[in-house]
Chain A
Amino acid sequence: MAEQYSSFSRGGTGWLLQRITAAFLIVVLAFHFFQLHFVNHAADVTFAGTQARMENVGYFLTMVLFLIAGAFHGLNGVYNALVNQGLEGTQKKVVLAVLSLAGIALIAQGIWVAVAMAGWT
């Protein structure tokens, strides 16, 4: 009974991270909505405006974290939902792989976009 001292077991980590990202998302998502619909109207968004925001390193990092958290939270949520519906074996592995790839792609693309917005290219 003495092995397995360090790491989380799979289910537990995913569950905990889902909650932690959720807690984080509440804050940033609310901020995001306010920023882009109430403070600045979405209709008035221009590249220059976007760039002005993105150039701020703090904002940039927040948005990247927002993206990572959102992607993880969303895709992990989807994965769990599928697993809960009884996904098994290879199917499950395939779904996990596809979702992970999609997530990585999404994040990579997102970071690229953000970098472009900040004008650091």
Chain B
Amino acid sequence: MSQSYNRGLIEDFGRWKEFSAGMWAWIFHKFTGWMLIGYLFTHIAVLSTAIGAAAGDPAAIQQETDVYTTTIQGLESLFIIRVLEVGLLAVAVFHILNGLRLLMVDLGIGLSAQDKSFYASLVLTGIITIASVPTFMDGVTI
């Protein structure tokens, strides 16, 4: 169809304003999934300091001055890290809740409420995130 006109990329995402619940759910799920796998890699990287700590001086471990402990506590003392953590929680919670929704859909349960369950996931994510802020922000100074 050499003659026909292809409207290109605008088709896919140029029309985001017109997406419906199921599509937003798809996009958010994707986005959160990627964040999580990204985090998993970083997480393991950070935790890898444990190797150094284990190989290092046991005394340092006692005094809590080993690389592992200092790295983690160092990071945790940063405000920005705490904020990121809250973000991570939001991401994970949404991914879990929507993941549950998707599992239900896979089992053919509640298909007709798929949009409502998406909105519910969003709202619940919000609530849980906000509720956990005090815990996450505990003991950090700006």
Could you list which residues of chain A lie within 8 angstroms of chain B, going by C-beta atoms? 19, 22-23, 25-26, 29-30, 33, 37-38, 41-48, 50-51, 67, 70-71, 74-75, 77-78, 81, 102, 106, 109-110, 112-113, 116-117, 119, 121
The smallest beta-carbon distance between B12 and chain A, in angstroms, is 9
Judge whether A74 and B37 touch: CB under 8 Å.
yes
Chain B residue with Cβ nearest A84:
B30
Could you list which residues of chain B lie within 8 angstroms of chain A, going by C-beta atoms? 30, 33-34, 36-37, 40-41, 44, 47-48, 50-51, 53-55, 61-62, 64, 66, 68-69, 72-73, 76-77, 85, 89, 92, 96, 99-100, 102-103, 106, 132, 135-136, 138-140
Judge whether A113 and B44 touch: CB under 8 Å.
yes
A50: chain B residues within 8 A (beta carbon): 50, 68
A109: chain B residues within 8 A (beta carbon): 44, 48
- Kindly list 12 other residue pairs between chains A and B, CB separation below 8 angstroms, not including A77-B33, A110-B44: A22-B99, A25-B99, A37-B136, A43-B138, A43-B139, A44-B73, A70-B40, A109-B48, A112-B51, A113-B47, A116-B54, A117-B50
A116: chain B residues within 8 A (beta carbon): 50-51, 53-55
Known contacts A22-B103, A37-B132, A38-B135; decide if A45 and B72 are in contact (CB<8 Å).
yes
Report Cα–Cα, A41/B140, bound state, in Å: 12
B53: chain A residues within 8 A (beta carbon): 47, 116
Chain A residue with Cβ nearest B39:
A74
Contact of A23 among B103, B138, B140 (CB under 8 A): B103
What are 18 residue pairs bridging A and B, where the CB atoms are less than 8 Å apart in the complex? A22-B99, A23-B103, A29-B92, A30-B96, A37-B89, A37-B136, A42-B85, A43-B73, A43-B76, A45-B73, A47-B61, A74-B36, A74-B37, A78-B33, A102-B41, A112-B51, A121-B54, A121-B55
